[in-house]
Structure 1
Amino acid sequence: MKILIIGGNGTIGQKVTSHFAPNHEVLVAGRTSGDVTVDIADTSSIEAMFTKTGKQDAIISIAGEARWAEFNELSEDDYYIGLKSKLMGQVNLVRIGQYYLNPKGSITLSTGILADDPVVKTASAAMVNGGIHSFVQAVALEIENGIRVNAVSLGMVEDAYEKYKDYFPGHNPIPMQKAVNAYIRSVIGKANGEVIRIYS
């Protein structure tokens, strides 16, 4: 299977890449490093990436950013960071990427627990995650050629615990293998239009 992993060098992406690489033809895309570079907030960059990578059997996105700040500190432009990157960036990966997938291929997007269980300073990030959940459920009704679209929604993962633990008091970190298994389920399984939640 040919698999393109956008964000494959990140905290979660490295683990997902390590799982698939031994048995599949894996390409890693990143903003500054990888087999190919891409800025998912830029449609022309996404198009250039797919032109270079060609047809794939699976596309995995573990990418996108959003501004974290107290609600009264968030400006309109702050919201647009998440809207352009994590939300529309991933929407555009589906919109454009469908034409670079072999029939019955899959696209897996990434969100997070904030869509269902937000914490302080995440008004923008939670909004974006929730939007992706709704998008995945809707686009699965219309996308053609047997393509499946899912989202993986994780809680705080173990490898990010030290960095984010103060934002998530009392949350249990997700073992990295559980996180990887969610992506395996989306790519190898038959789920379509699902939000695969791993929160504990």
Structure 2
Amino acid sequence: MKVLVVGASGTIGRAVVQELSSRHDVIQASRSNSTHPVDISQPQSIAALLKKVGPVDAIVAAVGDIHFGPLAEMTGEQFRLGLNSKLMGQVELVLQGQKYLNEGGSFTLTSGIAVDALIRQVVNASSVNCALEGFVRGAALELGHGQRINIVSPTVLTESLPVYGPYFVGFESVSAARVALAYARSVDGAGNGEVFRVW
């Protein structure tokens, strides 16, 4: 299959590329990629990427910025970081990408453990992740041409503990390689509208 991985330069994205490359033709896209650059907060950037890549069998979104910080100090601009990047960036990939996804193809999006766990200073993440999971459930009912959509919800990555560890005290971390298996399950499997939690 021809698989487009958006966010391929990130910790999860690199692991997903490694996991899928042994079986599929993987196209890597990210803000830092010179061949396939994309800024998912800009719809026109997504449009340019999809036009350049052309029809694909799967689109994986392992991408999206969010704001970490206490609610009492949060501004609307900071909250909109997650809305414009992680939420609308992934939604826009589906809205535009369904026209480029081959029959029977799949989307795989990314949420996170803040949907289910009560964690301080991640209200932006919990809001965005809940919205993404709701979008996937609704979109699974309406995608045409046998297209599927799922979402992966990982806990904190072992590789990311030096940066995000203080927000996840007491949480067991998982490796990016283990998280990548959930993306493979979505791409190579038959699920639709599912949330693959990796905790």
Q: TM-score range by the shorter chain?
A: over 0.9
Residue 135 of structure 1 corresponds to: 135
Deviation at 1:34, TM superposition (A): 5.1
Unaligned runs of 5+ in 2: none
Deviation at 1:19, TM superposition (A): 1.4
Give 3-state SS (helix, strand or coil) of 1:46's partner: helix
Give 3-state SS (helix, strand or coil) of 1:99's partner: coil
- Give the 5 Å matches for 1:60-71: 60-71=60-71
Residue 76 of structure 2 corresponds to: 76
Unaligned runs of 5+ in 1: none
Q: What amino acid sits opposite 2:58 in the alignment? A: A
Give 3-state SS (helix, strand or coil) of 2:197's partner: strand
Q: Distance in 2 between matches of 1:148 and 1:39?
A: 24
Residue 40 of structure 2 corresponds to: 40
Give 3-state SS (helix, strand or coil) of 2:64's partner: coil
Alignment deviations for residues 69-122 of structure 1 (CA, whole Å, 9 cap, x no partner)? 100111111111111110011011000001111100000000100111131111
Q: What amino acid sits opposite 1:139 in the alignment? A: A
- Give the 5 Å matches for 1:5-16: 5-16=5-16
Alignment deviations for residues 50-72 of structure 1 (CA, whole Å, 9 cap, x no partner)? 00000000000000111111001
Q: Is the 8 A contact 1:108 1:183 kept in 2?
A: yes
Q: Distance in 2 between matches of 1:5 and 1:56?
A: 11
Q: Is the 8 A contact 2:19 2:181 kept in 1?
A: no
TM-score by length of 1: 0.96
Q: CA RMSD in A?
A: 1.0
TM-score by length of 2: 0.97
Alignment deviations for residues 19-76 of structure 1 (CA, whole Å, 9 cap, x no partner)? 1123211110001225301111111110000000000000000001111110011111
Distance 1:159 1:189, change over 3 A: same
Q: What amino acid sits opposite 1:77 in the alignment? A: E
Q: Distance in 2 between matches of 1:29 and 1:123?
A: 28
- Residue 98 (structure 1) aligned with residue 125 (structure 2): no
Residue 180 of structure 1 corresponds to: 180
Instruction: Figure out how many residues of one structure are paired with residues of the other and give that number.
Output: 199
